[in-house]
Amino acid sequence: MKNRVEKERGFWNSFSGKYDSFINSTLAPTYKQLYQKLKTDVFGSAKVLEIATGTGLIAFEISSDVNEITAIDIAPEMIRIASEKQSTQNIQNVIFEVGDSCNLSFEDSSFDVVIASNVLHLLFDPEKSLSEIRRVLKPGGFAILPTFCHAENFKSRIISNFISLFGFRARNKWTTKSFESFVTKNSFKIVKSEIIFGKIPLLYLLTGK
């Protein structure tokens, strides 16, 4: 377990300084659509947990649509940058913490919505992460699981292999259909499934337990 955490933390700490520029350039069209879908689906929610927040891009984007967000990341450097960004903005309802998606520190049934965006395909143990998400989600709550599907087509597989050379290794290469199957096998019900097309398709899943 310690080795797994150290590996994940080490890579994302080292990438933290480049994170915003990467998202805002390479993935800008995809994230523009993602933000709009998230803002619609979380609107009016009381308590939201975002897992793998990075530097807080999603948390800041949806902060005006919800009452409170707790945003965690396994990499302390990501949280440091997110907190620095928050100090320059008038955003009071976001709490940033270092945290592990496979070992959440929260009580059962704590959140109305849990967001795990673009992280499950990177994890050593995505089943454990989904189990923890289900545990902290309130009855009637929603888990939103946008995930890049690296095995969707020939183009996405080629790109996936290429970016793995730079450290972006997808440990779980799903198609859109196999990711839906993975989520339902882990005791979630799919409420909405939409594809955001790009170099690697992003499957936007809204689920309940």
Place of tokens 């109305």: 112
Number of domains in the chain: 1
Mean pLDDT of 7-25: 77
Task: Tell me the two tokens of residue 189.
Answer: 């019900």
164: nearest Cα among 148, 179, 180? 148
Identify the pLDDT of residue 5.
76
Measured distance CA(58)–CA(52) in Å, rounded: 10
Identify the pLDDT of residue 8.
78
User: What backbone torsions phi and psi does residue 175 show, to the nearest 5 degrees?
Assistant: -90, 170
User: What backbone torsions phi and psi does residue 64 show, to the nearest 5 degrees?
Assistant: -80, -5
The CATH code of the domain that includes 105 is 3.40.50.150
**Over the stretch 86-119, which tens digit does the pLDDT of each residue have?**
999 989 999 999 999 999 999 999 999 999 999 9
Measured distance CA(171)–CA(194) in Å, rounded: 22
- CB-based contact 209:184 (threshold 8 Å): no
Query: 39-43: long-range contacts at Cβ-Cβ below 8 A with a sequence spacing of 24 or more?
Result: 39/65, 41/113, 41/142, 41/144, 41/192, 41/206, 42/66, 42/113, 42/115, 42/144
Predicted structure pTM score: 0.91
Identify the pLDDT of residue 199.
86
Identify the pLDDT of residue 78.
97
pLDDT above 60: residue 194: yes
- CB-based contact 146:131 (threshold 8 Å): no
DSSP state of 16: G
Identify the pLDDT of residue 167.
63
**What is the three-class DSSP state of 147?**
strand
Per-chain mean pLDDT for the chain: 92
Q: Provide the domain limits for residue 50.
A: 2-208
pLDDT band at 2 (very low <50, low <70, confident <90, very high): low
pLDDT band at 57 (very low <50, low <70, confident <90, very high): very high
Measured distance CA(96)–CA(78) in Å, rounded: 10
Measured distance CA(156)–CA(71) in Å, rounded: 29
Mean pLDDT of 13-32: 81
- CB-based contact 68:92 (threshold 8 Å): no
